Chains A and B, each alone.
Chain A
């Protein structure tokens, strides 16, 4: 096996050999490697296939910008993870990774054929071709694209890992631990500011930490040595927290930032166990220093995507940090000085290399150094083509014309096994723009730089466009002193020597004799879009960068165009003949690099996903086979399955028992609001549609609450406990909103009212007993209470003691039966329930759930707000005009009840429906029509509630139907998938219209 690890470095621990699997084969690396560096050490460049053309692709970079080396990690159904960048993944014992985009395998694949038919796959190909015929999309195109696109596999089982969230507050947050970030953090922390420094890498130091060029020195030391010393210094600062392996994902308003800390991704399997895998930091910082650095640009020329073509600085890092050379015969193609550092480093390690430079000449210290080492430099030359299928083996260069628009002279063919490219540097302004900051364009080196800040933040270092070390350090120190309003003198005497770049030449799309249509000049490696695609989009009329981006999919992949956006912009500007600065940029959206769902969700999974509210009687329900229904956060018994009953049978049994003898319901979840104050009855007058002033003490009344738009909002029974004391009940789901709404009116519209509201939903538990035998059961529980209709009539309230505990008893009914609701302090709820059950035994007292409750009330035509209403129903639409006071001067929503729209006759109105076949049960939500022949079919309304009534022995339904009030007796049709159901419009009350049962 080849070994490209050619020297020892302090970052690679060669005493710790690590074995890992890549595409099923076992390899070795060392502690300190990334997957990418270990692969390169094993001579592996080819790591995937391109998205559209399935061209072989290799590792391009050494960081977050990597477009090609995207892996699937692990193979377990619950732990596999797609879209992991090999350049960021730290190697660990037992790592299993596979290349993602290469079905059926990386070395040969069917999609490779696309490479030869590529003239047929221009920009917008997917939009243009796969749109037609429509039926092909689902059956042919999509499966094919999905299969060959290789977007990775999601885990198919729940993630067993643990994730965590943490909130922190700092005076200063520094993003990025390179030279400028380290200086900023030190200055802040030494000035007594509580400071957090985050960096996404394993160690601090950025690209300076492995710098070893003699021409770049600080205080007479190699810059890397100087920086190591600084890092030692800052580690001693008690005010400074340093978090490595931590990347900022998003920068929101008010200096609120999200960071992802990787805690175990670098550990072997057995050491990951029972540990938090990733932690999401929610950071509030008074001030933020952005020191995120810059990334190197590729160059756009024909066949610039072959394996073995990397960014020049990445070749340098693999060499000086990981001890790995990317080749043995390397060519560096550049338009700036930084490739010379790489070249000199390679030369020092004995790696043969030559330089192809776009510039006509250059004269900095670095260039003189390279020249004096005898490194061959082709100035004013351009790479026009590369060769080699699975890896580059040679290339052609040509001379550039004076204006740089064409090539001249003869082709020179050079052999190589690796090509480094450097198109200059792009400042990472993502954080600045995410924070709301604007950008300026600097023509000199064609970079976008941070401009206006809308938040308290600053950019320093190369993300601010300062590229040489002297500039970086001087400017950082000055800016930080000003930004933090301090006077730090630590760097006053620092002596920096570095090479200064004097010459620039930028050409976004490099010239070629071959017509553009026949070249493959890649811009976006991950989404496989080329210079030709951009030009085609412009030709077809696209102008806005946002449109060109979407049409060509440039910058739309998981790398978000970190390497491609600038070139796309540059080519658009050049083609359209406009200045690049005027084009604007695409929006940099969070997250900066992909986040796992686990990190975002944190601990809120499984039973912590949402708060669960249980009544004090919950245990009994569980013991008695209740199936539960979620109502808001509440768990409510839905039905109690007896002896293996299904839901239908249970509900039929429960419903019948409640009307034949007695039923009991846990009604504890209904919202309860305690209302007190001298203006309490006036307040109720204003919030309900009916009148409340005359409600006697000890009496109950049903109320309907509207929004100001006149639509029904909530309903419930309110009891007058004393002159200035009421107890309001609301729907279970509406409780919180009703309280908020009432508080809103009290605080903002009617602050003069003397009214106090307290939610007591959780304070009382409620058992509701109904049925002809309910009075007998009550009598057993409360033998001293006079239950006669004279003393305790329907819609009234009494207090009595159960044992020694006070109970509030209301004789109210939601089923149409004689019915009592017993309220007791919640801690006694379970005892109350059990005593009721015990007392009711001889009367076959049957516990029933929400489904039976719904059925029983539907028999009586009582509405459920939220089921029979949907925020567009007025009281009149519900045929409930009786509850709207004509006398009251005002109440919430009153004025809206006679707006031109609310008095329309043809509004949807609540009606009853009876099926012609009494056994046929309608589907809730089903559409209602009168004529199925005329097309389009006129929809009249829909079914809101539907049940089979065991007490009437037929199917009943409630529905909202256009002009329904006038349609009683009319035949309508409910068209279903395989049949039409005939129904007749009926009254909404199906049972006991005379309310005889209430006083049974």
Chain B
């Protein structure tokens, strides 16, 4: 059970949050211009990394804000949290 440091509320139990999958997948601005394959890339393809992964989380039973998390999936350590729209920390690339 993680402890997640919501950038708006502080450290809270995982049960207050819901996970929203991989982060930094931007919805294409012009979906109609895309081929089936390009659209499928956006729609379906997700990484499943053993190691450092960038994820979206929502403080659903708290401030209801979405934010980003850097998590090492091999030991579940959360290395960083940052707000939507902020640049991902470069040292985890």
A residues at B contact (CB < 8 Å): 252-254, 256, 284, 436, 454, 708-709, 740, 743-744, 747-749, 751, 889-890, 894-896, 899-900
- CA of A747 to CA of B39, assembled, Å: 22
User: Are B85 and A751 in contact, CB atoms less than 8 angstroms apart?
Assistant: yes
B43 on the A face (CB < 8 A): yes
- CA of A900 to CA of B76, assembled, Å: 39
Query: Which B1-54 residues sit within 8 Å CB-CB of chain A?
Result: 1-3, 13, 18, 20, 26-28, 30-32, 34, 36, 39-40, 43
A-B contact pairs, 9 of them (CB 8 A): A256-B3, A284-B3, A284-B13, A708-B27, A740-B60, A744-B58, A744-B66, A749-B27, A900-B36
- CA of A284 to CA of B56, assembled, Å: 24
From known contacts A253-B2, A284-B3, A896-B39, infer whether A747 and B66 are also in contact, taking CB-CB under 8 Å: yes
- CA of A740 to CA of B56, assembled, Å: 13
- CA of A352 to CA of B76, assembled, Å: 56
User: Are B66 and A748 in contact, CB atoms less than 8 angstroms apart?
Assistant: yes
- CA of A708 to CA of B13, assembled, Å: 30
Chain A: minimal CB distance from B67 (Å):
9
From known contacts A708-B43, A744-B58, A751-B84, infer whether A895 and B1 are also in contact, taking CB-CB under 8 Å: no
Chain B: minimal CB distance from A452 (Å):
10
Chain B: minimal CB distance from A674 (Å):
15
Which residues of chain B are near A747, meaning CB under 8 Å? 65-66, 84
User: Are B31 and A254 in contact, CB atoms less than 8 angstroms apart?
Assistant: no
Which residues of chain A are near B31, meaning CB under 8 Å? 890, 894-895
- CA of A256 to CA of B30, assembled, Å: 45
B75 on the A face (CB < 8 A): yes
Which residues of chain B are near A889, meaning CB under 8 Å? 32
User: Are B39 and A895 in contact, CB atoms less than 8 angstroms apart?
Assistant: yes
- CA of A743 to CA of B62, assembled, Å: 14
User: Are A253 and B1 in contact, CB atoms less than 8 angstroms apart?
Assistant: yes
User: Are A253 and B60 in contact, CB atoms less than 8 angstroms apart?
Assistant: no
- CA of A253 to CA of B77, assembled, Å: 9
Beyond A256-B1, A748-B66, A896-B39, 13 additional pairs, beta carbon < 8 A: A253-B76, A254-B1, A254-B76, A284-B3, A436-B75, A709-B43, A744-B20, A747-B84, A751-B84, A751-B85, A890-B30, A895-B28, A895-B31
Chain B: minimal CB distance from A881 (Å):
17
Which residues of chain A are near B3, meaning CB under 8 Å? 254, 256, 284
Of B13, B27, B58, B76, which contacts A740 at CB under 8 A?
B58
Chain B: minimal CB distance from A354 (Å):
52
- CA of A896 to CA of B42, assembled, Å: 11
Query: Which residue from chain A places its CB closest to the CB of B72 in the assembled complex?
Result: A454
Query: Which residue from chain B places its CB closest to the CB of A282 in the assembled complex?
Result: B1
Query: Which residue from chain B places its CB closest to the CB of A455 in the assembled complex?
Result: B75
- CA of A479 to CA of B67, assembled, Å: 39
Query: Which B65-81 residues sit within 8 Å CB-CB of chain A?
Result: 65-66, 75-77
Chain B: minimal CB distance from A682 (Å):
15
Chain A: minimal CB distance from B77 (Å):
8
Query: Which residue from chain B places its CB closest to the CB of A901 in the assembled complex?
Result: B36
Chain A: minimal CB distance from B33 (Å):
9
Chain B: minimal CB distance from A901 (Å):
9
Chain A: minimal CB distance from B56 (Å):
7
From known contacts A252-B1, A254-B1, A708-B43, infer whether A894 and B85 are also in contact, taking CB-CB under 8 Å: no
Chain A: minimal CB distance from B80 (Å):
16
Chain B: minimal CB distance from A281 (Å):
14
Which residues of chain B are near A454, meaning CB under 8 Å? 75, 77
Of A252, A743, A894, which contacts B32 at CB under 8 A?
A894
Quick one: which of B3, B31, B34 has the most chain A CB within 10 A? B31
- CA of A895 to CA of B31, assembled, Å: 6
- CA of A32 to CA of B85, assembled, Å: 64
Which residues of chain A are near B75, meaning CB under 8 Å? 436, 454
- CA of A288 to CA of B84, assembled, Å: 34
Chain B: minimal CB distance from A168 (Å):
13
Which residues of chain A are near B43, meaning CB under 8 Å? 708-709, 896
User: Are A895 and B32 in contact, CB atoms less than 8 angstroms apart?
Assistant: yes
Which residues of chain A are near B28, meaning CB under 8 Å? 895
Which residues of chain A are near B30, meaning CB under 8 Å? 890
A-B complex: 7 closest residue pairs judged by Cβ atoms: A895-B31, A256-B1, A454-B75, A747-B66, A253-B76, A254-B3, A749-B27
Chain B: minimal CB distance from A341 (Å):
41
User: Are B64 and A743 in contact, CB atoms less than 8 angstroms apart?
Assistant: yes
- CA of A744 to CA of B67, assembled, Å: 10
Query: Which residue from chain B places its CB closest to the CB of A252 in the assembled complex?
Result: B1
- CA of A256 to CA of B77, assembled, Å: 13
Chain B: minimal CB distance from A600 (Å):
15
- CA of A889 to CA of B28, assembled, Å: 13
User: Are B40 and A899 in contact, CB atoms less than 8 angstroms apart?
Assistant: yes
- CA of A744 to CA of B20, assembled, Å: 9
Query: Which residue from chain A places its CB closest to the CB of B38 in the assembled complex?
Result: A895
Which residues of chain B are near A253, meaning CB under 8 Å? 1-2, 76
Chain A: minimal CB distance from B73 (Å):
12
Query: Which residue from chain B places its CB closest to the CB of A710 in the assembled complex?
Result: B43
- CA of A708 to CA of B30, assembled, Å: 13
Chain A: minimal CB distance from B32 (Å):
6
Of A709, A743, A748, which contacts B56 at CB under 8 A?
A748
User: Are A254 and B32 in contact, CB atoms less than 8 angstroms apart?
Assistant: no
- CA of A895 to CA of B30, assembled, Å: 9
Quick one: which of A256, A743, A747, A894 has the most chain B CB within 10 A? A747
Which residues of chain B are near A751, meaning CB under 8 Å? 84-85
Which residues of chain B are near A896, meaning CB under 8 Å? 39, 43
Chain B: minimal CB distance from A120 (Å):
46
Which residues of chain B are near A708, meaning CB under 8 Å? 27, 43
- CA of A473 to CA of B37, assembled, Å: 65
Query: Which residue from chain A places its CB closest to the CB of B40 in the assembled complex?
Result: A899
Query: Which residue from chain B places its CB closest to the CB of A255 in the assembled complex?
Result: B3
Chain A: minimal CB distance from B30 (Å):
8
- CA of A253 to CA of B78, assembled, Å: 11
Query: Which residue from chain B places its CB closest to the CB of A253 in the assembled complex?
Result: B76
User: Are A748 and B2 in contact, CB atoms less than 8 angstroms apart?
Assistant: no
Chain A: minimal CB distance from B27 (Å):
5
- CA of A743 to CA of B64, assembled, Å: 8
Query: Which residue from chain A places its CB closest to the CB of B30 in the assembled complex?
Result: A890
- CA of A605 to CA of B75, assembled, Å: 34
Chain B: minimal CB distance from A460 (Å):
22
- CA of A252 to CA of B34, assembled, Å: 44
User: Are B58 and A890 in contact, CB atoms less than 8 angstroms apart?
Assistant: no
Query: Which residue from chain A places its CB closest to the CB of B31 in the assembled complex?
Result: A895
Chain A: minimal CB distance from B26 (Å):
8
Chain A: minimal CB distance from B36 (Å):
5
User: Are B84 and A748 in contact, CB atoms less than 8 angstroms apart?
Assistant: yes
Which residues of chain A are near B84, meaning CB under 8 Å? 747-748, 751
Quick one: which of B27, B34, B60 has the most chain A CB within 10 A? B27
- CA of A80 to CA of B65, assembled, Å: 48
- CA of A592 to CA of B1, assembled, Å: 18
- CA of A889 to CA of B29, assembled, Å: 11
Which residues of chain B are near A256, meaning CB under 8 Å? 1, 3
- CA of A890 to CA of B18, assembled, Å: 28
Query: Which residue from chain B places its CB closest to the CB of A891 in the assembled complex?
Result: B31
Which residues of chain A are near B34, meaning CB under 8 Å? 895
Which residues of chain B are near A709, meaning CB under 8 Å? 43
Which residues of chain A are near B32, meaning CB under 8 Å? 889-890, 894-895
Chain B: minimal CB distance from A420 (Å):
42
Quick one: which of A708, A748, A751, A894 has the most chain B CB within 10 A? A748
Query: Which residue from chain A places its CB closest to the CB of B26 in the assembled complex?
Result: A749
Which residues of chain B are near A899, meaning CB under 8 Å? 36, 39-40
Which residues of chain B are near A436, meaning CB under 8 Å? 75-76
Chain B: minimal CB distance from A770 (Å):
36
Chain A: minimal CB distance from B14 (Å):
8
Which residues of chain B are near A744, meaning CB under 8 Å? 20, 58, 66
Chain A: minimal CB distance from B70 (Å):
16
- CA of A748 to CA of B85, assembled, Å: 8
Chain A: minimal CB distance from B92 (Å):
18
Which residues of chain B are near A900, meaning CB under 8 Å? 36
- CA of A748 to CA of B56, assembled, Å: 10
Which residues of chain A are near B1, meaning CB under 8 Å? 252-254, 256
